[in-house]
Amino acid sequence: MAPILRSKEEREKIRETGHIVAEVLAELRSSIAPGITTGDIDTIAVEVLKRFGATSSSLGYHGYPASLCTSVNEEVVHGIPGKRVLRDGDIVTLDLAASYKGWHADSAVTVSVGSASADARRLLKVTEEALYRGIAAARVGNRLLDISRAVQQHVEKVGFFIVRHYSGHGIGRSMHEDPQILNYVETSDPDSMLRLKAGMVIAIEPMVIIGTEETRDLEDGWTSVSADGTYAAHFEHTIAVTEGDAEILTL
Ligand code: MF3
Ligand code: CO
């Protein structure tokens, strides 16, 4: 299906939501310290969203029970906030999609709690860099797989692993729209050959594991963890493709 192209005005609406997502994530980051629970972080997210008049896009999505996803250490994605206490040396992904005036934006960041190990810090750095490589490849005339390739090469160059089970996505009137944005090159994916056009709004979100590409799901039906128990990281921005550099809407 042809990807939806958003006008300048529509992109500015998504940017408004994106600003809110960024503000909430900034407040969550500053709240993180050893001793806080993931449920406490979710509570803060709810409060800050409310202050902005925005709502979580995740709450109730296919029955998802929280407003935020919090994924700790070997958890890759969709960790459910709850009683878990964060400890010095943990890493935690804060993944937030929100809606404001009918427009969605989505962003994620993995941060360390107190002093993370050198391994963990390297994982965070490489995963964030991979996101930015993908954003730099999001240029008119390139194909979707140029984004995928840029992300994949950066991660595999250092020997880490791309999670293949999850991908980025178009975003706008819904949290998840076509096309999907793979984090690895898969030429049999018909979307991968699509040419990027000005006005496309997409969420790029590499998920990276230190030791494996395999994940498994926990019994809560949501949390995905690395199969080998090694750390996972996840960085995400919502961006707009333009005639020049892509614009990051979740800043
Ligand atoms: N923010 C996640 C994403 O990047 C999805 C939210 S969790 C869900 O797509 F439960 F709502 F799916
Ligand atoms: Co997303």
* Domain with 79 in it: 8-248
Determine if the pTM surpasses 0.85. yes
Phi and psi (nearest 5°) for 81?
A: -60, 145
Residue 227 has pLDDT above 80, yes or no: yes
Does some domain include residue 73? yes
**What CATH number is associated with residue 116?**
3.90.230.10
Domain contains 27: yes
Three-state DSSP state, 169 = strand
What pLDDT does 161 receive? 98
Q: Is 205 helix (H, G, I), strand (E, B) or coil?
A: coil
Q: Which residues line ligand 1 (CB under 6 A)?
A: 58, 61, 64, 69, 78, 95, 97, 106, 205, 236
Nearest C-alpha to atom 11 of ligand 1 is from which residue? Answer: 58
The chain-wide mean pLDDT, for the chain, equals 98
Can you tell me the mean pLDDT for 49-62?
Answer: 98
* Number of domains into which the chain is organized: 1
Ligand 1 atom nearest to CA at 58: 11
Q: 1 pLDDT exceeds 90?
A: no
For residue 222, the ligand closest to its alpha carbon is 1
Q: How far apart are CA 213 and CA 223, in angstroms?
A: 16
Q: Does 1 fall in a domain? A: no
pLDDT band at 2 (very low <50, low <70, confident <90, very high): confident
- The pLDDT value recorded for residue 37 is 98
Digit-coded pLDDT (tens) for 37-47:
999 999 999 99
Q: Is residue 212 part of a domain?
A: yes
Residue 101 domain flag: yes
What is the tens place of the pLDDT at every residue in 94-122? Answer: 999 999 999 999 999 999 999 999 999 99
> Does residue 3 form part of some domain?
no
% residues pLDDT > 70 (the chain): 100
How many angstroms is it from 111 CA to the middle of ligand 1?
18
Taking the C-alpha atoms of residue 24 and residue 52, their distance in angstroms, rounded to an integer, is 9
Give residue 142's pLDDT band: very low, low, confident or very high (50, 70, 90): very high
Residue 88 amino acid letter: D
Distance CA 56, CA 41 (A): 14
Mutation to probe ligand 1, out of 21, 55, 56, 58 (largest number of atoms < 8 A from CB): 58
Angle (CA) 137 71 69, round 5°: 80
Measuring from atom 6 of ligand 1, which residue has the nearest CA? 58
> Rounded CA gap, 217 and 126, in Å?
24
Q: Measuring CA to CA, which residue among 208, 212, 46, 201 is closest to residue 123?
A: 208
Non-local (6+) Cβ contacts of 75 within 8 A are 93, 223, 224, 225, 232
Nearest CA to ligand 1 atom 7: 58
Q: CB of 215 within 8 A of CB of 74? A: no
- Please give the share of the chain, as a percent, with pLDDT higher than 90: 98
Say if 63 falls within a structural domain.
yes
Separation of CA 203 and ligand 2 centre (Å): 6
Once rounded to an integer, what is the mean pLDDT over residues 122-143? 98
CA 17 remoteness from chain centre: 15
Half-sphere exposure at residue 55, Cβ-oriented, CA atoms within 13 angstroms: 10
Q: 120 C-alpha vs ligand 2 centroid, how far in Å? A: 22
Average pLDDT over residues 193-208: 98
